[in-house]
Amino acid sequence: MKEAELLIFPHVPPISNSNLSKDLQSKLDNKTKPIGALGRLENLALRIGLILGNKNPELIQPQMLVCAADHGLTAEGISAYPSDVTWQMVENFLAGGAAVSVLSKQNNISLNVVDCGVRHDFSPREGLIIQKVSNGTANSLYEPAMSNEECQKAMNNGMNITLNLPGNALLIGEMGIGNSSAAAMLLSRLTDNDIGSCTGSGTGMFGNDLKTKIVILEK
């Protein structure tokens, strides 16, 4: 199999629909309020209507999916916290102690946590989906973080999980010490911007620590 054939992305239909957009905007503008008074909420309502393809959109059984995995690059000190915090936070999500857990409960949103590649063995329980591709990624300073096969498997797992969830609305979150570094490198490569402009403080890397983080990512 050729390398390019390993990564297969599903077709995502465009949401642009000028007629539906006009109908939705008209409905918003004819509410008992000044035009635009709800600010960003109106833009959000318009976008939801376009995504669902309906001028009377309704969110049915919304789902919250938090995907967790460890990053091998964390061994280079690119985070203020050790990798063990990843699995500890997953346990916190499942115990209902994290902000995402509380907000999901308050808004009647089903929360599931996916073990995509955490360096920890979890006991099976409600709200936990175990789809471990590997025990964390490799250290990308010395080798590819993931093989093409692992990347394909991870994406396939995500698509299959999503397709089997109920409802018509999906919120996505992630957990993994070192994740902002992986995101920065991907953003830099995809946008052809220098790594420094794509790198943030993450979970508390400021000053010289942030500079060191950028130097490591530049390698």
Comparing 215 with 7, which gets the higher pLDDT?
A: 215
pLDDT for res 11: 79
What confidence tens digit (pLDDT) does each residue in 36-73 have? Answer: 999 999 999 999 999 999 999 999 999 999 999 999 99
What confidence tens digit (pLDDT) does each residue in 150-176 have? Answer: 999 999 999 999 989 999 999 999 999
Q: Are residues 210 and 156 both part of a single domain?
A: yes
Gap between the terminal Cα atoms of the chain: 30
Residues whose CB falls within 8 Å of the CB of residue 52, separated by 6 or more in sequence, listed in order: 58, 168
Rounded CA separation 114/161 (Å)? 9
C-alpha distances in Å from residue 160, one per residue of 140, 201, 208: 27, 33, 42
C-alpha distances in Å from residue 52, one per residue of 23, 162, 168: 14, 16, 8
Q: Which two tokens stand for residue 45?
A: 């309502």
Cβ–Cβ < 8 Å for 144, 186? no
Q: Quick check: is 213 in a domain?
A: yes
Q: Is 20 exposed, middle or buried (0-12, 13-18, 19+ CB in 10 A)?
A: middle
Q: Quick check: is 93 in a domain?
A: yes
pLDDT for res 209: 87
What confidence tens digit (pLDDT) does each residue in 12-29 have? Answer: 788 889 999 999 999 999
Cβ–Cβ < 8 Å for 48, 57? yes
- Mean pLDDT within 116-130: 97
Q: What is the span of the domain harbouring residue 29? A: 18-52
Whether the predicted pLDDT of 8 surpasses 80: no
Q: Are residues 68 and 36 both part of a single domain?
A: no
Q: Quick check: is 124 in a domain?
A: yes
State how many domains the chain has. Answer: 2
Q: Which two tokens stand for residue 81?
A: 């916290």
Q: Quick check: is 209 in a domain?
A: yes
Whether the predicted pLDDT of 7 surpasses 80: no
Q: Quick check: is 212 in a domain?
A: yes
- Mean pLDDT within 189-213: 91
Q: Are residues 161 and 201 both part of a single domain?
A: yes
Average pLDDT of the chain? 92
Whether the predicted pLDDT of 129 surpasses 90: yes
